[in-house]
Amino acid sequence: MDIDYKLLMDQAKEASKYSYSPFSKFAVGAAVLMSNGNIYTGCNVENSSFGMTICAERCAIFKAVSEGQKEILAVAIYSPNADDCYPCGACRQVMYEFQGENEISIITESKGNPVIRKMKDFLPYGFRI
Ligand code: THU
């Protein structure tokens, strides 16, 4: 399937507008493309009890999985507060869990330009049972 990287990044940007991040003031948006062509978006959602916070990437992935989509093709991540915003280690492991036959593409944005990398660049030797 052809991946529309720009569309995915646009969706991540749109999702970042819904970020609930009054504590860190660090907004993040994510968009995941699943193997059936569906796109799910997510934003970081913080909490007064800080450990309850969920990252944008996991928010989007859990939306997809909870609607029956378990194979990620690509993930776009955007923060208006950081150039080239990377996924945290926890989100990398969750992405890895839902990698299918095709290696996941991870899209970020640096100085206004898309940067496309592969899952193994972010998490070599990921854990799976
Ligand atoms: N955050 C994400 O949403 N995704 C990441 O991969 C890294 C961190 C959020 C969590 C928290 O709300 C804020 O960024 C600062 O850590």
- 57 a catalytic residue: yes
State the Cα–Cα distance between residues 120 and 18, nearest whole angstrom: 29
- Quick one: fold of 5-122? Cytidine Deaminase; domain 2 (3.40.140)
pLDDT beyond 90 at 53: yes
pLDDT beyond 90 at 6: yes
Using one digit for the tens of pLDDT, what is the confidence trace for 71-93?
999 999 999 999 999 999 999 99
Phi, psi of 6 (to 5 degrees): -70, -45
The domains of the chain are located at: 5-122
Q: Ligand 1 within 6 A of 16 CB?
A: no
What integer is the mean pLDDT of 106-114? 97
Judge if pTM exceeds 0.95.
Answer: yes
pLDDT band at 49 (very low <50, low <70, confident <90, very high): very high
What integer is the mean pLDDT of 29-55? 98
pLDDT beyond 90 at 123: yes
pLDDT beyond 90 at 1: no
The length of the chain is 129
Distance 65 CA to ligand 1 centre (A): 20
What integer is the mean pLDDT of 4-19? 98
Helices (H), 1-129: 5-16, 56-65, 89-97, 119-122
